[in-house]
Structures are given as structure tokens and as C-alpha cells.
Structure 1
Amino acid sequence: MEVTAAAWTATIGLVLLLLALDLAVGALRPHAVGFREATIWSVFYIGVAIAFGIALGSIAGWGYGTEYFAGYLVEKSLSVDNLFVFVIIMTTFAVPPEHQQKVLTFGIVLALVMRAAFIAVGAALLELFSFMFLVFGLLLIATAVQLYRHRDEDPDVADNALVRATRRVLPTTTEYHGGKLVARLEGRRVVTPLFVVLIAIGGTDLLFALDSIPAVFGVTQEAFIVFAANAFALLGLRALFFLVQGLLDRLVYLSTGLAVVLAFIGVKLVLHWGHTLSDGVPQISTPVSLGVIAVVLTVTTVASLAKTRRDPAAKAHAGSLRGSRPADPVEPPTA
């Protein structure tokens, strides 16, 4: 796929424009987001993503268009799991509702920056070394196994290495000071819980990038499509958070469904690597991948809602890549 400099510039410009709009709404005008506002913005961002895919398919061919929609679907489903962790972080640190938009928007900016770097590195590695398809495939399969094993657990955000390091190195306060990241107390500067929250979300974004980038490379090796699918899936994350936060607890089988999707894409990558060695090794086509992913996510959602209807006490979990361990609660030092 040949992508001109003008196409890259136009796509990045559109992403930056939408990001600036998100910043203006989420950071410059702090307020609690209602259901109606969240619905309008969610429909808007999904509409933009669909319109981009249709334009891409019309210009570059529907083979690439299918790859984009498959990648977008993978990234969107993984972003919902990301929302679980965002909810945990917001609850753990008791982020005031009027500042949650600001946290989410800056979290999305961090995610875009990190994923752009991972996309560049991943594309270069796949171009130079075909065995990286095997490495990425095995990484996704291992991730899927761990996610399935710990599907009924939640990650411990207080045990995040970056959060611990921040609290150890920087003086912190337990009190929020409006939307400030740094405040002055008793003559010295301290970081507020809002700063620690951003660190926690940044660490979470890093972990999710390690999974999502190999996953989307499993449905397309085109760096342009990988970037576009990630960007448009992430841009709607702020509005989606406020739209589905009441629904998240009902998606009890989401971690299981995502584990199946990651394992499937991992197998697809391993087969692709095998095909580079021998034409006798079968490959899984992009349309088949799109169909499998869509079916798994649909079945997961329907089964989750049916389960919670029968058992209202059932509660969903984000899933964890490692087992929980008993630990003493970590209290930030009081300034």
C-alpha cells in the first residue's frame, strides 16, 4: 500500500484536530458529563471512524478497507477493557466528576503518543525480521492465557510501578486542589492526586499498547492502517467512558471474549510466519478475521447481558495479566 505524504499529513491533521476538540471539551471546560452529551459525542466519533474507513476503501481498495475495519474493531474492543481500568483508577483515587474529562483526555494523548512510537518500531521490526510475526503471535497467545486465567480479577492500580515511584520520589498531597497537578503547601511544591492519576493512566496506556499494537498488526501489516485504526478507536474513548460506565459492570464475559480474540490473532500471526517459510502453511484471511472477531464480541456481549439478567449480583472485572497478591495498602505521604 503506497501512502503519499499528503495522505499522511491529512490523516494526522484530522486526528490532531479531533484531539484539540477533545481537549477543548474535556480540559478547558471542566464539568460532569451527562448521558445525552456522552451519546452525542460517541456517535460523532464512531461516525468519523466509519466515514474514514469508507473513504479509505473507496480510494485504496476494499481489501485495505476491510483491514482497517478489522483493526478498528480490535482496537475498539480492547479500548473497552481499557475503560474498565480507567473506572478502577477513577474510583481508587476518588477523582471529582468535573475533572474526569481532563484525566481521560490527557490519558488519550499519552496513549496516542505511546502507540505511535510502538507502531513505528513494530512496523520496522516486521519489515526487517519475518520471525517477529512469530514473536508477536506468541506474545498475544501468552497474554490471552494470562488474561483468561485472571479474568475474574482487577489490576491493582495502587501497585503500579510508576505510581509507587512517583509517591516515593515526589512530595504528594491527599487533597485535590481544583484541576491543578501541582500545588504549593506550607511553602513547598507538592503534586496532587490528579498528577498521580495521570501517572497511573500513563502506565496503563503503556501496558495496553504492548498488547494492542501486536494485535492490530495481526490483521494488517500496513503502518498507515494500524495508526488510523488506533487513533480513531482512542479518540472516542473519553465520550465512551461516560456512556458505558454504568454498563461495564454487566459485561461479565468481556475478558474471556478478549482472551479469545487475542489468542485467535496470535495464531493468525504464527501461521503467517509459517507461511513465509512454506506455502503449505495456511493463512487466515482478513475477512475471516473480521467475521471471527465480530462474532466473538457479539456473543460475549449478548451472553454477558443474559448472565447479569439472570444473576444481578454478577459483576464484571477488567482482568489482569498477573495474579493478585496480598499487599498492605499504599497510602500517599501527607504533605
Structure 2
Amino acid sequence: MTTSLRAHRPEPAVRTVVITGASGGVGRATARAFAARGAAVGLLARGEAGLRAAADDVRAAGGTPLCVVVDTADPDALARAAEQVEAALGPIDVWVNDAFSSVFAPFTEIEPEEYRRATEVTYLGCVNGTRVALERMRARNGGTIVQVGSALAYRGIPLQSAYCGAKHAIKGFTESLRCELLHDRSRVAVTMVQLPAVNTPQFSWLRSRLSHQAQPVPPIYQPEVAARAIVHAAQHPGRREYWVGASTAATIVANRIAAGLLDRYLARTGYRSQQTSESHDPGRPGNLWAPADRHHDFGAHGEFDQRSTGHSYQVWASQRRGPLATAACLAAGGAAIWRWARR
């Protein structure tokens, strides 16, 4: 049974948290999770309808929201958003970089400007957010930055080269930054949460050139699983990173010990496993250039509730050090690899 995060330490005092990509998916669920702990939450995203609904969620959960419409690819606009948050809610204690956009397609079918845009939002958006947060946190010598990553920060898969490249870049950037903060003996902490496949609206609103509807690769987790892990990481930022889901552990471990074999496995299964049987119009624009939730709220969940789980034993293990965590992670990873091998 998954242990509640509340059991690990007393609830913190009310904090000011900023979440990019807060209007839907993991960002939306994370906003609710922080609000349930009494936080004031700066909600940053491009979609006005999604942000308004996210603000309602934060209020209902017991937090104080502030919505700012902003594109994380614009560093100046992001700096102004941070100023707005601090003026209204107080000094930023936690900054969560979650915003992203991408294209589902083989690399050769992605236009250069699409690739650049996906990289600007997903990778440079994270860099921009980190810079803005650091400018404020270093002056106070305190605060936590949480980078929302993915198992795909370790292992690239077909049809998602733009997203995989950006997540790999975020991991490398974060490692460099962590070393610099340690060198400076800074009390600003940075940690990363590596996520599995999550049931979010991204599979409905990302640009896709696939002939069938995109889907997450099973096993699929609900966004609340990711949100709980992100809140825990913000409260316990001494860990370099957290792995969420047995599939994340399996992917990272398998890539370390048998990357070539995984290349061939994904070449055989990666196209089929990322598409449903439902037809898709490859001409639909998606949300790469304009938000999908400008006029309509999509919420935190995608279309795969019936196939998604709301808990993860591996998260529980990842939050603990020592032999128990090691054994649990290896067991979870080994079980997932064994299931893969049987397909």
C-alpha cells in the first residue's frame, strides 16, 4: 500500500509555489496537490480557460491561486510573470517546471520550425523558468526548483524525438546547474522527477502526424501519482531525482544494461504501442503554436481513465533510501522488464 506523503514530515507552513504548464495534465494535478497543503499557487500557462478552471481547483482545495497567461519560451514575459506572482502572493519558495509541447511524428516528418518550437517550449522553457526562479532564490539563499522529467530523459523512443531530445537536455542542464550550486554552497535546491506514461490531455492536443490517435505506452498512471511525487520532491529536495512508476525504473535500468536490445525492441513495438485503433487527422494543428485550452478546459486527465492506475509502489520505494529502496526498485524494474520480454 502506498504510504501517504503526510507521514514523512509535518506539513510545511503556507508556501508560494509557481507551476508552469499549470492549466492541464500533471501541472493541473500538482497545483491541486500543493493547494491541499495550504499553498499559494502561481498558475502559469498559455490557455485562459484551462487557467481559470485550475484557479477554481486551487480555491476548492484550500489554496490561493494567481493566473498568469505566459509562454515559457519568452524569457522576458516569464520574468514579468514571476514579478507578478511575488507582488501578489509573496516570495517564491518552490518553482515547478512542467510546461512542454511537442510533435508526434517520425523525425523526417517534423518541420525545422516545429522542432525549434518544441525545443523552445520544452527545453528552453525549463531553462528560462529556472533562471527566473534562481534570480529570486539566490538573493534569499533558499528555495527549491523541481524539474518535471521523464523516463524518456534516459531513453529515446520512436515518434517522440523532439520530446526525448528536450528531456535529455533538461537532465544534462540540471546536472550542470546542481554542480554549480554545490560549488557556491548555495541553499537553493534543484531536483528532478522522472515520470512514466501519464493519462493527460497531451495525447489529444499535441500536434500529431500519425494516422491513428496517439496514446501513452502502458502501463499508464494517473496525473495525481505524478503530482504526489512532485510535492514530495519539493519537500525533500536533497535527492537528485525521483523515479515514478515501475516502468520508469525498468526503462532506465534496461537502457543501462541492454541499450542495443532496447533499440531493437522499440523499433519493433514503438510505433504500434503509441497509437490506438482510432483514426486521426494528421492535418490537425495541435497546440504547438496556440494553446488548445484557450477556450475549453481539458482538465488534468486524458482519455485513458479506464486503463490508468492511481498508485505506484515504486514511488514509495524511490522516496526511501537504503536496502529497501534498492530492492524494491530492482524488483519493480525486473518485473516490468520481464513483462516487456513476454510481449
Quick one: higher RCO (CA 8 Å, sep 6+), 1 or 2? 1
Q: Which has the larger radius of gyration?
A: 1
More helix as a share of residues: 1
Whether TM-score is above 0.5 comes out as no
- Normalising by structure 2, we get a TM-score of 0.31
Higher strand residue share: 2
